[in-house]
């Protein structure tokens, strides 16, 4: 996931509270509980960080999460998409007359998988699984949701409706755990009317968050090219069909996809990240392999780009007398933050943190499988500040030195709980027309 630049938000005025709830007092209670639970949150996060598991292998992590939820008295469903865990926190206040359970349900999501990176940090909670590391902060996401779950369970006498807790596997690996959990019914029984999620963001200082309404993160497709020629001695190029030369022309021609198909104001990027041609100084190989990615927001551009990529492969192969096979793996869709929901979250964040700590994000060409939730209904995905420049905690995600200012756990947990109770209050105060399943 890529970094985004920020600027201070000029929006975020508080939304009116309902007469039944003193939200200022409730916010203070959540802040207090988040602070009291910080030592446990740090312990949870350090355990998870020390025992990372790769995508769809999160068996110990899932067991750890399920055990913690059960100890809180929360109903748990295990084995969703194999290693996913779902919990339900049921509010104890009655629903408004005529309102269904589905109509007053919101979901909080955290991902649990780690990356194939060997950790370089020399800290007590360093990864004990060599070559596997929580370098994208999913240990933080899981911890914040566990801590929020405990707050919500303690507060269930203060709200009506249901909070669905989604602990998801496999965000880092296609087809994405979100799509598999949706397939297995995570958005049913009850069906949340909104899904909320957060992601660590080192460029933001701990204690702040960032968000962006509307299109936020790109669709990402993987590109795999197999360039086939006829190799031989480098001294006799006239006898060869050179796959290395063909590959170089292909890479250059692929840059036309964005340069000539995307409008100047339309975000898109095609990048090549891996080229393998295993010859030698005097040997031209028979084949080469090229891997890359295409990222975009517009579905029509995405389709046209795929067609253009295939056409460029055919034309380049024909020009050189070789063959180019291309495999385009269609990845995650674009992530779309529902505008109305995001503006509510922005306002509630201002109430909880102070408006000056709620920042605007630029559009991101990174991809996230939370996008599947955003395609299914109302969703909001924001960034949790985890950096601390004074302490040197600035390493980007997906690096061997990534770490966080752990005070962000208190912020992230409190916000998730706060957003959930505010969103349920919003749903409960909806019009009668919205009170049916």
Q: pLDDT digits over 15-72, tens only? A: 333 445 799 999 999 999 999 999 999 999 999 999 999 999 999 999 999 999 999 9
Which has the minimum average pLDDT: 2-6, 114-118, 282-286? 2-6
Name the residue range of residue 249's domain.
219-329
CA distance 193 to 100: 11
Residue with tokens 């779902």: 86
Indicate if 234 and 259 belong to the same structural domain: yes
Residues 353-375 have pLDDT tens digits of 999 999 999 999 999 999 999 99
DSSP lists the bridge partners of residue 52 as none
For residue 209, give every residue at least 6 positions away whose Cβ sits within 8 Å of its Cβ, in sequence order, or none: 198, 349, 353, 357, 358, 359, 382, 383, 384, 385, 411, 415
CA distance 368 to 213: 16
**Secondary structure class of 210 (helix, strand, coil):** strand
Catalytic: 171? yes
Indicate if 324 and 357 belong to the same structural domain: no
Residue 251 has pLDDT above 50, yes or no: yes
Indicate if 268 and 340 belong to the same structural domain: no
Confidence (pLDDT) at 20:
56
295 domain residue, yes or no: yes
Confidence (pLDDT) at 127:
98
Residues 99-151 have pLDDT tens digits of 999 999 999 999 999 999 999 999 999 999 999 999 999 999 999 999 999 99
Buried b / exposed e along 255-283 (16+ C-beta atoms within 10 A): eebbeebbeeeebbebebeebebebeeee
Indicate if 244 and 203 belong to the same structural domain: no
430: confidence class by pLDDT, cuts 50, 70, 90 = confident
Catalytic: 184? no
Last residue in a domain, options 285, 303, 329: 329
CA distance 346 to 203: 19
Buried b / exposed e along 297-324 (16+ C-beta atoms within 10 A): bbeebbeebbebbeebbeebbeebebbb
CB 127 within 8 A of CB 116: no
Annotated active-site residue in 113, 119, 287, 406: 113
In the chain, DSSP finds a helix count (H) and a strand count (E) of 11, 17
Indicate if 42 and 115 belong to the same structural domain: yes
- Mean pLDDT confidence for 235-258: 98
Confidence (pLDDT) at 16:
37
Confidence (pLDDT) at 21:
77
Annotated active-site residue in 171, 351, 405, 410: 171
- Mean pLDDT confidence for 217-231: 98
Indicate if 44 and 161 belong to the same structural domain: yes
**Secondary structure class of 238 (helix, strand, coil):** helix
Confidence (pLDDT) at 328:
98
Last residue in a domain, options 273, 299, 329: 329
416: confidence class by pLDDT, cuts 50, 70, 90 = very high
Q: Count the neighbouring beta carbons within 10 Å of the beta carbon of residue 240.
A: 19
Q: Domain count of the chain?
A: 2
Report residue 346 CA to chain centroid gap: 19
Confidence (pLDDT) at 18:
43
1 domain residue, yes or no: no
CA distance 376 to 371: 9
CATH number at residue 407: 3.40.630.10
Confidence (pLDDT) at 9:
38
Residue 431 has pLDDT above 80, yes or no: no
- How far from 385 is each of 11, 31, 68, CA to CA, in Å? 19, 17, 25
322: confidence class by pLDDT, cuts 50, 70, 90 = very high
For residue 266, give every residue at least 6 positions away whose Cβ sits within 8 Å of its Cβ, in sequence order, or none: 296, 297, 298, 301
Residues 379-405 have pLDDT tens digits of 999 999 999 999 999 999 999 999 999
CB 152 within 8 A of CB 421: yes
Which residue from 434, 1, 433 is spatially nearest to 217, judged by alpha carbons? 1
Q: Count the neighbouring beta carbons within 10 Å of the beta carbon of residue 163.
A: 30
Indicate if 227 and 212 belong to the same structural domain: no
DSSP lists the bridge partners of residue 276 as 289
Indicate if 299 and 342 belong to the same structural domain: no
The reported pTM is 0.91
Return mean pLDDT, the chain: 94
């Amino acid at each position: 996931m890529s970094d985004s630049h920020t600027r201070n938000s000029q929006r975020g005025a508080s939304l009116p509270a309902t007469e039944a709830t003193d939200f200022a007092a409730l916010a203070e209670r959540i802040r207090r509980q988040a602070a009291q639970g910080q030592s446990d949150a740090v312990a949870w996060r350090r355990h998870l960080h020390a025992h990372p598991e790769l995508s769809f292998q999160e068996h110990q992590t899932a067991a750890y999460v399920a055990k913690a939820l059960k100890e809180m008295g929360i109903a748990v469903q295990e084995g969703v998409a194999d290693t996913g865990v779902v919990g339900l926190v049921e509010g104890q206040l009655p629903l408004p007359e005529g309102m269904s359970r589905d109509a007053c349900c919101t979901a909080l999501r955290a991902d649990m998988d780690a990356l194939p990176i060997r950790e370089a940090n020399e800290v007590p909670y360093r990864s004990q699984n060599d070559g596997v590391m929580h370098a994208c902060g999913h240990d933080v996401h899981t911890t914040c949701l566990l801590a929020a779950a405990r707050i919500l369970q303690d507060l269930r006498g203060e709200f009506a409706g249901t909070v669905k807790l989604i602990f998801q596997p496999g965000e880092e690996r296609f087809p994405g755990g979100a799509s598999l959990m949706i397939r297995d019914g995570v958005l049913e029984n009850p069906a949340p009317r909104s899904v909320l999620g957060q992601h660590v963001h080192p460029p933001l200082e701990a204690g702040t968050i960032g968000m962006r309404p509307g299109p936020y993160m790109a669709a990402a497709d993987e590109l795999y090219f197999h360039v086939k020629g006829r190799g031989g001695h480098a001294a006799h190029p006239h006898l060869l069909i050179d796959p290395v030369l063909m590959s170089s022309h292909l890479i250059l021609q692929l840059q036309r996809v964005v340069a000539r198909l995307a409008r100047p104001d339309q975000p898109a990027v095609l990048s090549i990240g891996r080229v393998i041609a295993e010859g030698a100084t005097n040997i031209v190989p028979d084949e080469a392999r090229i891997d890359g990615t295409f990222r975009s927001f517009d579905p029509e551009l995405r389709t046209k780009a795929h067609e253009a990529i295939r056409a460029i492969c055919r034309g380049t192969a024909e020009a050189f007398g070789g063959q180019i096979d291309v495999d385009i793996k269609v990845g995650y869709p674009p992530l779309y933050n529902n505008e109305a929901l995001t503006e509510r979250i922005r306002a509630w964040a201002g109430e909880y943190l102070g408006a000056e700590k709620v920042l605007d994000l630029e559009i991101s060409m990174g991809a996230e499988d939370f996008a599947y939730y955003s395609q299914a209904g109302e969703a909001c995905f924001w960034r949790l500040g985890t950096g601390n420049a004074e302490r040197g905690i600035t390493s980007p995600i997906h690096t061997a030195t990534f770490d966080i200012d752990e005070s962000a756990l208190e912020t992230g947990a409190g916000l998730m709980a706060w957003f959930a109770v505010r969103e349920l209050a919003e749903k409960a105060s909806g019009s009668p027309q919205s009170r049916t399943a």
